[in-house]
């Protein structure tokens, strides 16, 4: 069952589509516990109706991403702040 | 053999993908294909449930909230039902057999003006379903699948089952039903997925 | 720059130029991709397959080739119940085109400019991005000392075995440690068990001072290895991880 859990590297392409820049090195601050982690380190569950990203420290939801037919629904309420650069 | 697909563009020579049985059938909603395995979809870690502490409750717009311990729950009249289930990710599984307690049994004697419900689970998962869609022999709280105790990866020990709607509404690791006067979008409904979710009208996303 | 290349990564076509079988289940695929912008060791590409009826499947694969290599290489393990890997390893022929996009990744990358020691821990096909790093390292003039701890099922399953031998023989700064989890071949001098505390203590640098660490493989392997390093005193945030899952193959 643990094999279902991946990390932010697995959604590198998806995040690039959404943010248009490389995001796996971006730092996200968890709105629940305040932990700051590079997105490459966060927990990712892909096998769901959408993608659920969770904090590696407290397991609360950082992001939810649903993509269908050219539309995206992105919930970032679990991420207080996202820090990233152009590269 | 085409090199390009009219809408998609490039076509990969010789790629067929998993064979998807999309033969149309009165039992298969539009856009679905039938599977014989039971795919596991997960939005988070599998909760470890301690049955000694487990309870199922009906709360919210109700004079006296109801609560059952595992022992009390297992003492309720149970039934075995066979249903087809349809996941929004397009797989359908026919003739699945479940054992559990009908929501009608749980709602016996409950008086409420509430029209809506939120079905909630361990680990913060929620889904919204109109009260009319979980009563009248339409929903169950189940603990056995295919004659065996429900496996944790499929929502065990106890999950919700409301097969006439897309399967994300059949909340895994269910802990209760909250009766509400207003509709509150759940975990997926607040992020793109349809508030109602009727597979026969292919209501997958917002605006469908 | 975190990664080279255009701002928007778009799908492009690579042409399969060569297939090299590495082990019974694993093959390397070498592509000519004229629009390829270049990459950093550790990055991956997304691959997209489209069937006649429009059905599509996408998967990510780590780039096996070094940034210096002429062709873009993937090393793919064929999973029998997979959807994409049996196509890549089995159906795809030299001359066929493959839709891909990339390079993707800014966290699990090793540029090689640093002279900090490099610690690599790989399980099965998790060795692929680590191999890109070692291949890149072979081009770097001032080489940082490097150690690879590589877990495989059996001797026949060890991907890149000969090349790793060659690289470590030619360069005293690279040490490769193998462990086999399902076999104890006659004459084998490597480890024969799952990675554990004792093995990690013998292989890795004792202190984490300024060591670059990359761990890659199945989720359970990565978490076991990372925990062992943390228990030894490695800073969890300095242990970079990439989990390969059973995402369908």
Average confidence (pLDDT) over C124-137: 98
- Cross-chain Cβ contact B88/A59 below 8 Å: no
Q: Helices then strands (H, E): number in chain B?
A: 2, 13
pLDDT(B8) > 80:
no
C84/C192 same-domain check = no
Q: Are B99 and B79 in contact (CB under 8 A)?
A: yes
Average confidence (pLDDT) over C211-226: 96
Q: ∠ CA A14-B168-B56 to the nearest 5 degrees?
A: 130
Cα–Cα distances in Å, from B159 out to B171, B207, C7?
6, 28, 45
* Closest residue in chain A to residue B154, using alpha carbons only: A1
C249 in any annotated domain: no
Q: How many domains does chain C have?
A: 2
C131/C225 same-domain check = yes
- Cross-chain Cβ contact A10/C245 below 8 Å: yes
B20 in any annotated domain: no
- Cross-chain Cβ contact C247/A46 below 8 Å: yes
C94/C174 same-domain check = no
* Closest residue in chain C to residue A21, using alpha carbons only: C7
C128/C67 same-domain check = no
Among candidates B41, B45, B36, B5, which has minimal Cα distance to B18? B36
pLDDT(A1) > 80:
no
Report pLDDT for B1.
Answer: 45
* Closest residue in chain C to residue A46, using alpha carbons only: C247
What span, in angstroms and rounded, lies between the C-alpha atoms of A48 and C82?
18
Q: Are B92 and B35 in contact (CB under 8 A)?
A: yes
Cα dihedral C127/C129/C133/C135 (nearest 10): 70
What span, in angstroms and rounded, lies between the C-alpha atoms of B65 and B59?
5
Q: Are C98 and C47 in contact (CB under 8 A)?
A: yes
Q: Are C230 and C239 in contact (CB under 8 A)?
A: yes
Average confidence (pLDDT) over B85-91: 95
Q: Are C29 and C73 in contact (CB under 8 A)?
A: yes
Closest-CA distance of chain C to residue A25, Å: 5
Question: Which residues are paired to C50 by β-bridges?
Answer: C56
Q: How many domains does chain B have?
A: 1
Report pLDDT for C226.
Answer: 97
Q: What is the pLDDT of residues A24-80, one digit of tens each?
A: 999 999 999 999 999 999 999 997 899 999 999 999 999 999 999 889 999 999 999
When the pLDDT of each residue in chain C is averaged and rounded to a whole number, the result is 93
Report pLDDT for B17.
Answer: 85
What span, in angstroms and rounded, lies between the C-alpha atoms of B105 and B102?
5
C238/C126 same-domain check = yes
Best probe of the A interface among C60, C104, C240, by most A CBs < 10 A, is C104
Name the residue range of residue C187's domain: 118-244
When the pLDDT of each residue in chain B is averaged and rounded to a whole number, the result is 94
The percent of residues above 90 in pLDDT, for chain C, comes to 86
Q: Are A13 and C104 in contact (CB under 8 A)?
A: yes
Report pLDDT for C248.
Answer: 40
Q: Are B179 and B62 in contact (CB under 8 A)?
A: yes
Sign of the C-alpha dihedral computed for residues C220, C222, C227 and C228 taken in this order: positive
C85/C127 same-domain check = no
Q: Are C29 and C5 in contact (CB under 8 A)?
A: no
Q: What is the pLDDT of residues C178-208, one digit of tens each?
A: 999 999 999 999 999 999 999 999 999 987 7
- Cross-chain Cβ contact C44/A12 below 8 Å: yes
Report pLDDT for B127.
Answer: 98
Best probe of the A interface among C42, C106, C230, by most A CBs < 10 A, is C106
The DSSP element (H or E) to which B141 belongs, if any, is strand B140-145
Among candidates C165, C166, C189, which has minimal Cα distance to C179? C189
Q: Which residues contact A70 (CB under 8 A, 6 or more apart)?
A: none
Q: Choose the final residue of a domain: C104, C137, C160.
A: C104
Domain segments of chain A as ranges = 2-83
Q: In which band, very low, low, confident or very high, does the pLDDT at B20 lie, cut at 50, 70 and 90?
A: confident
pLDDT(A82) > 60:
yes
C240 in any annotated domain: yes
Report pLDDT for C249.
Answer: 45
Question: Which residues are paired to B68 by β-bridges?
Answer: B56
Q: What is the pLDDT of residues B174-193, one digit of tens each?
A: 999 999 999 999 999 999 99
C42 in any annotated domain: yes
Q: Give partners of C (≥3 CB pairs < 8 A).
A: A, B
Report pLDDT for C7.
Answer: 62
Q: What is the pLDDT of residues B163-175, one digit of tens each?
A: 999 999 999 999 9
The percent of residues above 90 in pLDDT, for chain B, comes to 87
- CATH number of the domain within which C25 lies: 2.40.30.10
Report pLDDT for C54.
Answer: 86
Q: Which residues of B touch C99 (CB under 8 A)?
A: 10, 12
- CATH number of the domain within which B128 lies: 3.90.420.10
Q: Count Cβ–Cβ pairs < 8 Å, chain A vs chain C.
A: 87
Q: Are C122 and C216 in contact (CB under 8 A)?
A: yes
Average confidence (pLDDT) over B159-163: 98
The residue that leads in pLDDT, C81 or B23, is C81
Question: Which residues are paired to C73 by β-bridges?
Answer: C30
Report pLDDT for C2.
Answer: 44
Interface of B with C (CB under 8 A): 1-2, 5, 7-18, 20
Q: What is the pLDDT of residues C39-61, one digit of tens each?
A: 999 999 999 999 998 889 999 99
Closest-CA distance of chain C to residue B121, Å: 26
Q: What ipTM was predicted for this assembly?
A: 0.94
C123/C207 same-domain check = yes
- Cross-chain Cβ contact B18/C83 below 8 Å: yes
Sign of the C-alpha dihedral computed for residues C177, C80, C56 and B168 taken in this order: negative
Name the residue range of residue B154's domain: 52-201
Reading the block at residue B110, the tokens are: 């409950």
What span, in angstroms and rounded, lies between the C-alpha atoms of B67 and B74?
13
Report pLDDT for C246.
Answer: 54
Q: Give partners of B (≥3 CB pairs < 8 A).
A: A, C
């Amino acid at each position: 069952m643990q094999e279902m859990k991946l990390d932010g590297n697995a959604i590198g392409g998806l995040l690039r589509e959404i943010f248009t820049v490389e995001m796996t090195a971006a730092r996200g601050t968890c709105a629940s516990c305040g932990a700051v982690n590079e997105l490459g380190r966060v927990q990712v569950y892909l096998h769901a109706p959408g993608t659920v990203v969770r904090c590696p420290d407290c397991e609360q939801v950082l992001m939810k991403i649903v993509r269908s037919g050219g539309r995206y629904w992105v919930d970032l309420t679990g991420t207080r702040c996202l820090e990233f650069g152009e590269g | 053999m085409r090199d390009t697909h009219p809408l998609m563009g490039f076509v990969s020579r010789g790629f067929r993908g998993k064979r998807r049985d999309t033969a149309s059938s009165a039992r298969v909603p539009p856009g679905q294909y039938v599977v014989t395995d039971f795919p596991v979809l997960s939005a988070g870690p599998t909760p470890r449930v301690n049955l000694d502490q487990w309870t199922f409750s009906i709360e919210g717009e109700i004079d006296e909230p109801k609560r059952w311990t595992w022992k009390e729950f297992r003492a309720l009249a149970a039934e075995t039902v066979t249903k087809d289930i349809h996941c929004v990710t397009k797989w359908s599984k026919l003739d699945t057999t479940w054992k559990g307690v009908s929501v009608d049994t749980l709602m016996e004697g409950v008086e409420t003006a509430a029209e809506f419900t939120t079905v909630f689970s361990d680990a913060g998962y929620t889904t919204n379903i109109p009260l009319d869609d979980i009563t009248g022999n339409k929903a169950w709280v189940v603990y056995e699948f295919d004659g065996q105790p429900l496996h944790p990866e499929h929502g065990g020990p106890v999950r919700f089952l409301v097969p006439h709607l897309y399967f994300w509404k059949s909340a895994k690791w269910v802990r209760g039903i909250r009766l509400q006067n207003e509709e509150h979008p759940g975990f997926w409904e607040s992020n793109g997925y349809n508030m109602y979710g009727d597979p026969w009208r292919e209501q997958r996303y917002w605006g469908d | 720059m975190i990664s080279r290349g255009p701002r928007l990564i778009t799908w492009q076509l690579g042409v399969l130029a060569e297939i090299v079988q590495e082990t019974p289940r694993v093959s390397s695929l070498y592509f000519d991709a004229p629009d390829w912008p270049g990459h950093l060791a550790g990055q991956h590409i997304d691959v997209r397959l489209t069937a006649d009826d429009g059905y599509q499947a996408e998967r990510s694969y780590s780039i096996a080739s070094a940034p210096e290599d002429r062709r873009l290489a993937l090393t793919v393990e064929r999973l029998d119940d997979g959807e994409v890997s049996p196509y890549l390893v089995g159906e795809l022929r030299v001359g066929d085109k493959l839709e891909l996009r990339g390079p993707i990744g800014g966290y699990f990358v090793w540029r090689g400019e640093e002279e900090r020691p490099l610690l690599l821990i790989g399980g099965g096909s998790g060795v692929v991005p680590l191999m890109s790093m070692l291949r890149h390292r072979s081009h770097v003039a001032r080489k940082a000392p490097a150690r690879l701890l590589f877990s495989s099922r059996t001797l026949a399953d060890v991907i890149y075995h000969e090349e790793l031998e060659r690289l470590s023989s030619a360069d005293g700064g690279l040490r490769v440690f193998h462990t086999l989890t399902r076999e104890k071949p006659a004459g084998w001098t490597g480890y024969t068990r799952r990675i554990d505390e004792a093995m990690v203590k013998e292989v890795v640098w004792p202190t984490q001072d300024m060591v670059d660490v990359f761990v890659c493989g199945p989720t359970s392997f990565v978490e076991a290895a990372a925990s062992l390093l943390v228990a030894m005193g490695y800073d969890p945030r300095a242990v970079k991880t990439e989990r390969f899952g059973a995402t369908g193959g």
